[in-house]
Structures are given as structure tokens and as C-alpha cells.
Amino acid sequence: MAPSKKKHASSQPCIIPGGFAVLSLQFNSDSAARHSLYVKEHKVRAEKSSHRPLDRTLFVLNIPPYCSEEVVKELFSQFGNVESVELRDHPGSTQESGPKLSKFFRPSGKQGFNVGYVVFKKSSSLTAVKSHPHDVPLVVCTEQRPVRTGVQKWIQQYTESFIHPDKLQQTVDSFMENYDKHKEEEAERQKKEAEQQKEEEEGWVKVTRGNKGTKARPHSEAANQRTLRKEMRKKKRKELMNFYTWQHRNTQKEHIAELRKKFEEDKQRIALLRAQRKFRPY
């Protein structure tokens, strides 16, 4: 029987609408079931973070829960050197509100399918991933890279949940040291801003001793002119403020006089009505 001349269509990369390439994923070499990953070059105009360069970042959808960042890095290392891997619950920016916490204090993530951002060291690795044949699966669990699932995974997570006191104390000390340093820098910055604002308001310049061997520079004519203009603006602002205060005071006096005048007219009208009032039963 002559062999069929028809080529196998699955040996080519599978591209679906949206520009996603489909990669086949297999848990181990003996597994018959396969899982599909959808990959695409990360192109977001609003993305300005240096952690996801637009020409070297691969966007991956439908990552199963048993694939950690280390496993994903090993899977895509066959296409080129991987610089970093980031797994998230949903697509989004890398900007995080609040301080960066240690892994000991982070809340546990959701156990479900994730999206990933794989950053390669070379842009040619993206082309290699998108041109990978669909019928050649990526194997997750191998002898060199065993992946635990089920009860073994729960036991591993339970064992890793215990924190060694020395590591925890070291993490806390490092965090507090960075926090105190940040507070000191913030206090110093606020102090300098307050001194600068005070100098600008008063029109005085603080003179400090320079480095050894340096000569003091005299005030230039431009600096004197700037100080003079600042004083003139302060004087005009003060005069304008006084003018508005005087105008407001006169307005209040006129308003009070008008109210008194209306009050007297109302009194006279009421007295006239009382004098003209008569008893008319019919």
C-alpha cells in the first residue's frame, strides 16, 4: 500500500483569531490528555514598565494551577534564555499600590488558571515560540524536573508554610531598616522644603560655609534684582489685600444702613394699618 502523499496539518504552528499561537502542554510523557496554552507577543501601548519590554515579552493565557513560575521558566527555556516570569490572576499592569512586602506577609494567591508574562533576553525567542509546531507538546513533569500534584503538593505546601524564626527576624529587621531610612530621608526633604519656602517668603538667602579652599561668591546684580522684584510683589499684594478689606467693611456698613431703613419703614406701615383698622361685622 503506497503511503499517503497528504501532509499532516498539525505539524505547522496553530494560529487562532486574535493573533494567539496555540501550544500543546502535556503533564508527563505517559499522559494521554493534553492542555492548550495561548501565547502572543505582549504589545500594550499603555505599558511603560521596564519589567515588560514590548519586544521581548510573551503573554501567555490558560496556565494550569500546577505550573509555578519556576516550571514556566523551565518550559520556555528551550526557546531561549528567560529573564523573568510573572504569573497573575488576570491581565494587568505591574504597578502595585502600597509597599513591597516579603513573601512571608503576602496573602496566599488563588488556586486557579493564571496568565503569565515571560520575558526573554532576546527578541528572537518570541519568533521561536510562535513557530513551535502544535503537535509537539511541552512536557511539564520530567525526571530532572518533578512536579508534585495532589496530596504530595498539599504536604509540600504545608511544610513550606512553617517559617524559620531566624529568616523571619532577618526579614523584619531589613524591612524596618529600610523603613527608618525612608522616614529619615522624607523628614530631611520636608525640612529642606520648609527652609526654602521660608527663604522665599522672607527674601533672605541662607549663607553656609562651603568646602575647604573654595572662595565665597558675591551676590550678582541679577540676584539683587530678583530679590527686589519679590519684595515689590509682596508690597503690592499687601496693599491690594488692605484695599479689599476696606471695601468689604464699607459694603457691610451700607448693608446695615439699608436694613435699618427698611425696618423703620415697616414700623411706620404697621402703625398706619393699626390706626386704620375698624370693626366691620358685615
- The reply to whether the predicted model has a pTM over 0.75 is no
Q: Given this model, what pLDDT does residue 202 score?
A: 57
Burial per residue of 218-248, b for 16 or more beta-carbon CB atoms within 10 angstroms, e otherwise: eeeeeeeeeeeeeeeeeeeeeeeeeeeeeee
What value does the mean pLDDT take over residues 22-30? 87
What percent of the chain is modeled with pLDDT above 70?
Answer: 74
Using an 8 Å Cβ cutoff, are 104 and 171 in contact? Answer: yes
Identify the band that residue 130 occupies on the pLDDT scale cut at 50, 70 and 90: confident
Q: Given this model, what pLDDT does residue 117 score?
A: 92
- Class of 11-160 in CATH: alpha beta
Three-state DSSP at 3 gives coil
Domain spans, the chain: 11-160
Identify the band that residue 105 occupies on the pLDDT scale cut at 50, 70 and 90: low
Whole-number average pLDDT of the chain: 78
Identify the band that residue 259 occupies on the pLDDT scale cut at 50, 70 and 90: very high
Using an 8 Å Cβ cutoff, are 80 and 50 in contact? Answer: no
Q: Given this model, what pLDDT does residue 48 score?
A: 62
Q: Given this model, what pLDDT does residue 281 score?
A: 59
Q: Is the per-residue pLDDT at 102 higher than 90?
A: no
101 compared with 158, residue with greater pLDDT: 158
Identify the band that residue 241 occupies on the pLDDT scale cut at 50, 70 and 90: low
What value does the mean pLDDT take over residues 45-66? 81
User: Residues with Cβ < 8 Å from 38, sequence gap 6 or more?
Assistant: 16, 20, 21, 22, 23, 60, 61, 62
Three-state DSSP at 151 gives helix
- For the ranges 214-218, 221-225, 262-266, the one whose mean pLDDT is highest: 262-266
Identify the band that residue 49 occupies on the pLDDT scale cut at 50, 70 and 90: low
140: burial class by Cβ within 10 Å (0-12, 13-18, 19+)?
buried
Cell triple for 151: 496530596
Q: Is the per-residue pLDDT at 282 higher than 70?
A: no
Q: Given this model, what pLDDT does residue 5 score?
A: 43
Q: Is the per-residue pLDDT at 144 higher than 90?
A: no
Using an 8 Å Cβ cutoff, are 121 and 56 in contact? Answer: yes
Q: Is the per-residue pLDDT at 86 higher than 50?
A: yes
13: burial class by Cβ within 10 Å (0-12, 13-18, 19+)?
middle
Cell triple for 41: 507577543
Identify the band that residue 123 occupies on the pLDDT scale cut at 50, 70 and 90: confident
User: 116: which strand partners?
Assistant: 60, 87
Three-state DSSP at 61 gives strand
Report which of 227, 170, 175 is spatially closest to residue 203, judged by C-alpha positions: 227
Q: Is the per-residue pLDDT at 161 higher than 70?
A: yes
Beta strands in the chain (DSSP E): 14-16, 20-26, 35-41, 57-63, 82-88, 114-120, 138-139
Q: Is the per-residue pLDDT at 251 higher than 50?
A: yes
